[in-house]
Amino acid sequence: MGKISLIAIGSSTGGVEALSEILPRLHPPLPPIVIVQHIPPDFSRMFADRINRECFLTVKEGENGEFIRENFAYIAPGGLHMKVCRYGGERLQLRCFMAPPVHSCRPAVDVLFKSVAEEVGASALGVILTGIGKDGAAGLLEMRQKGAVTLGQDKESSIVYGMPRSAFEIGAVERQIPLGGMALAISAIAHKN
């Protein structure tokens, strides 16, 4: 496992609570964090602003064309897909855009995870948290196949063990972690090397 340059997190039902537990327990220095939480328009900015006040990292709603930075967490805008793409070979930029829903979701975790697999590959860490359905499973599998480290929330601590189970059952999840240990696991992996 090489140095982690990007952390990608996906969540749905129960995810606001899960992220509210994980993000305040993460301390700089950390690579950029990109997050898709299934959330309606307008609520994503309010959530980002609220959780930012509780965090050591800077948490904000992602903006189209924004270059991502270390020690920042970017939450996908409600109603838009969000992905990462390379700009000029090295720097990563956010793309927030309107496109058809994936798994009836917009933003969709799969859209983000698949872009991370393509653009970041083995230097990414993928995390799938509580949620209904299977959004994120295929994208997390692509990330793992490209050499990324992948974590899934365990059944016991998930409000809904749908998304983590779907990812685990297709072999996308390398390790299952209880919610209470997720921040520690993310930090340990991100700080290796």
Within a domain: 1:
no
Average pLDDT over residues 118-139: 97
Contact 126, 113 (CB under 8 A): yes
Domain CATH number, residue 176: 3.40.50.180
Burial class of residue 163 in the structure, from the number of CB atoms within 10 Å of its CB (0-12 exposed, 13-18 middle, 19+ buried): buried
Confidence of residue 88 (pLDDT cuts 50, 70, 90): confident
pLDDT of 87 = 86
What are residue 8's DSSP bridge partners?
34, 126
Upstream peptide bond of 107 is cis (omega within 30 degrees of 0) = yes
Within a domain: 66:
yes
pLDDT of 42 = 87
Within a domain: 173:
yes
Confidence of residue 79 (pLDDT cuts 50, 70, 90): very high
What the block records as the tokens of 48 is 């980002």
pLDDT of 90 = 80
pLDDT of 193 = 58
pLDDT of 1 = 54
Q: Answer whether residue 39 shows pLDDT above 70.
A: yes
Average pLDDT over residues 150-173: 98
What are residue 128's DSSP bridge partners?
10, 152
Within a domain: 187:
yes
Could you tell me the residue range of the domain that residue 31 belongs to?
Answer: 6-191
Q: From the centroid of its chain, how far is CA 86?
A: 18
Average pLDDT over residues 5-29: 97
Tally of domains within the chain: 1
pLDDT of 155 = 97
Catalytic residues: 12, 38, 135
> Average per-residue pLDDT in the chain?
96
Query: What whole-number distance in Å separates Cα of residue 67 and Cα of residue 189?
Result: 23
pTM: 0.98
Q: Answer whether residue 158 shows pLDDT above 70.
A: yes
pLDDT of 19 = 98
Q: Answer whether residue 22 shows pLDDT above 90.
A: yes
Confidence of residue 187 (pLDDT cuts 50, 70, 90): very high
> pLDDT (tens digit, 9 = 90+) per residue, 24-35?
999 999 999 999
